[in-house]
Chains A and B, each alone.
Chain A
Amino acid sequence: MNFSKKSMKEKIKVIKNLISTEIQKQNISNINLMEVCGTHTMAIAKYAIKSMLPTNINIISGPGCPVCVTAATDIEMGIELASRSETIIATFGDMIKVPGRKKTLSEFGNVKIIYSPLDALALAQNTPNKEIVLLGIGFETTTPLIAATMLQAQKSALNNFSVLSMNKTVPAALEVILSSSDCKINGLLLPGHVSAVTGRNYFDFLSKFNAAGVISGFGPLEIMESIYLLVKMFSERKKEVINNHPQFVTEEGNQTAMKILFSVFEDADVDWRGIGIIPHSGLAIRKEFAQYDAKKKFKLHTTRIENPPHCLCGNILMGKARPNDCKLFGKACTPANPIGPCMVSSEGTCAAYYKYYL
């Protein structure tokens, strides 16, 4: 096929020109696009996508870094569990440096970084005299894995394994952002891997709002193409959700994974860092699985903890502020000494700005 003959660089140039032409032809003065996913945040920074776009396209980061949106209260619960002598905390790596009120998880010897939730299960099997608590973070991509791991724990009748659920779902947070009175978002770059699990039609709710959506892959060409599709829909006043990651994403997604997810978890109102409680935006462990629910097993209290003063993570996650607007950014708050979670996570907006734009 001819189209494969052009190199990636040539194709990017073609799309870059199409975007500029569309902006000029339609006389677009300003367009605001939000990338929802933390992996897109990093890719956009790494491939210098913004430098290839006309200045009237604003790319704004959204709430799709799971570590960044984890509430201070939830971090503190993890730290409380780590302080107990009978526990081992199993977690994905990014969580361990998020500051709690006084400590971070990295200060505890009983915190193990895992690659897969199944590693936590193996840990439970191999250390029967310890309570293994898996920190459940992640969106629709990761939560089915945690659910499947819990079903496996039940099958193996493991009684020293539990999950502290901080798991969240994407749609309700996007609804909060898009329905806010000062929202200026015209289009959303939607997460490719979340969509692989949920399917394209999961995002059809966007038609209620004044924004189009494009599901995108993570390479520079795919991101440029998806931005072009968003600009085109904006100029044509269309509000569709286009799947520009068709090799990975189907209309319905992986229904087996979604069924497994909702067999263990149920819809819940949860606290998002800096945003507050969002109805129907999170996942709580169903009562049938109470023995694997660390909040119930260890009777954890959930007094709400406020975010550090001056930290703008909340507004940054809502697309209302940029890292440079924050007094702490690059001064008191750096990757070596992070204050807010957007600087801690390798996919956080502040970490991306610090690494690539400062």
Chain B
Amino acid sequence: MCLAIPLKVIDIPSEGMAQVETDGVTIEVSSILTPDIKKGEYVLVHAGFIIEKLATKEANSRLELFKEIYERKN
């Protein structure tokens, strides 16, 4: 029920709306819950609305603990 998917904002056609894209599929969704989104940002979409902006991958994608764990040899 609380399914949500990450998508990229490719256009802001009008206030409160955003064109989002993944793998070449684009849809128009409401951005009323995230009024400050910008073109190029990644967002989480649930039932036709952006519910949150995503942190940039480089900055904040994993907990440091797990980065360290996966860097170990074994």
Contacts and interface: CB of A to CB of B under 8 A. Distances in A.
Chains A and B belong together in one complex: yes
Interface string B58-74: 00111100111111101
- Interface size class on chain B is 20 to 34
Given A116-B48, A246-B62, A246-B63, A257 B33 contact: yes
A1 B63 contact: no
Contact of A253 (B52, B55, B63): B52
Interface in B1-56: 1-4, 6, 30, 32-35, 44, 46-49, 51-52, 54-55
A142 B66 contact: no
Contacts, number: 127
A116 B2 contact: no
Given A116-B48, A116-B49, A14 B2 contact: no
A65 B1 contact: yes
Contacts of B62: 3, 246
Contacts of A176: none
A347 B1 contact: yes
A210 interface: no
Q: Which 5 A-B pairs have the closest CB atoms?
A: A116-B48, A3-B70, A141-B2, A257-B33, A193-B2
Given A141-B4, A148-B32, 19 more contacts: A3-B62, A3-B66, A11-B70, A14-B69, A15-B69, A94-B1, A145-B46, A145-B47, A197-B52, A242-B63, A246-B62, A247-B61, A250-B52, A254-B33, A254-B34, A254-B51, A256-B34, A256-B35, A257-B34
Interface of A: 1-4, 6, 11, 14-15, 18, 37-39, 64-67, 92, 94, 115-119, 137-139, 141-142, 144-145, 148, 152, 191, 193-194, 196-197, 225, 242, 244, 246-250, 253-254, 256-257, 260, 345, 347
